[in-house]
């Protein structure tokens, strides 16, 4: 099952940074890269923390559910607006019940992580592609205020 939203901007290919996610240390590395990128794009300190938090949630889902995957951080091409794109990709078990996963409180790993509904609330665009056995891709975009 897939949920799509209209794309209003494309990610600049040469700005994409890939962070492999395998361990809990990689979660920290990925969110620090995200914060650095946001700050270098003149996002505010608050927005940079939001972006780091989003990446932390997404990367943790990878470690918890898929064991390994990657986070892609890119800049959006739509001047004069400044935006950041984050893609979380894994080839794990996928999400069986997407509607439930997007509701608050749903989690299959003993109540830790997921937080997909929180992530969705925090971003401007949210796209989820997943199917049982087919892995999960979450793509989000956030614009600087």
Partner 1 sequence: MDVPILKQRDYLIASIQAVLTDRDLLNLRDKLVQQVGNFRSKGVILDVTGLDVMDSFSVRTLRDMAHMIRLRGADTVIVGIQPEVAFAMVQLGLSLEGVPTALDLEEGLAYLGRIPKRPVPKHRP
With respect to partner 1, which residue has the nearer C-beta, 1 or 32? 32
With respect to partner 1, which residue has the nearer C-beta, 48 or 66? 48
With respect to partner 1, which residue has the nearer C-beta, 45 or 97? 45
Q: Where are the beta strands (DSSP E) in the chain?
A: 2-3, 10-11, 17-21, 69-77, 83-90, 125-130, 136-143
**CB of 117 vs partner 1, minimal distance in Å:** 8
91 phi and psi angles, rounded to 5 deg:
-115, 40
**CB of 84 vs partner 1, minimal distance in Å:** 15
86 phi and psi angles, rounded to 5 deg:
-130, 130
| Residue 59 burial (CB count, 10 A) | 27
With respect to partner 1, which residue has the nearer C-beta, 47 or 129? 47
130, 1 Cβ separation under 8 angstroms: yes
**CB of 124 vs partner 1, minimal distance in Å:** 13
Positions that interact with partner 1 (CB under 8 A): 24-25, 27-28, 31-32, 35, 45-46, 48-50, 52-53, 56-57, 60, 104, 111-115, 117-119, 121-122
**CB of 63 vs partner 1, minimal distance in Å:** 8
- Alpha carbon separation from 42 to 53, 78, 102 (Å, rounded): 17, 15, 30
């Amino acid at each position: 099952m897939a949920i799509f939203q209209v794309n209003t901007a494309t990610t600049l290919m040469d700005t994409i940074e890939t962070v492999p996610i395998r361990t809990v240390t990689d979660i920290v590395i990925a969110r620090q890269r995200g914060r650095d990128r946001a700050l270098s794009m003149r996002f505010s300190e608050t927005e940079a923390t939001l972006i780091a938090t989003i990446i932390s949630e997404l990367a943790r889902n990878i470690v918890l559910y898929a064991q390994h995957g990657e986070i892609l951080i890119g800049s959006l091409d739509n001047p004069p607006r400044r935006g950041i794109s984050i893609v979380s990709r894994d080839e794990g078990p996928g999400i069986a019940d997407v509607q439930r996963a997007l509701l608050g409180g749903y989690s299959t790993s003993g109540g830790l992580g997921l937080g997909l509904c929180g992530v969705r609330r925090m971003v401007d665009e949210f796209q989820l592609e997943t199917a049982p056995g087919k892995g999960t891709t979450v793509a989000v975009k956030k614009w600087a205020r």
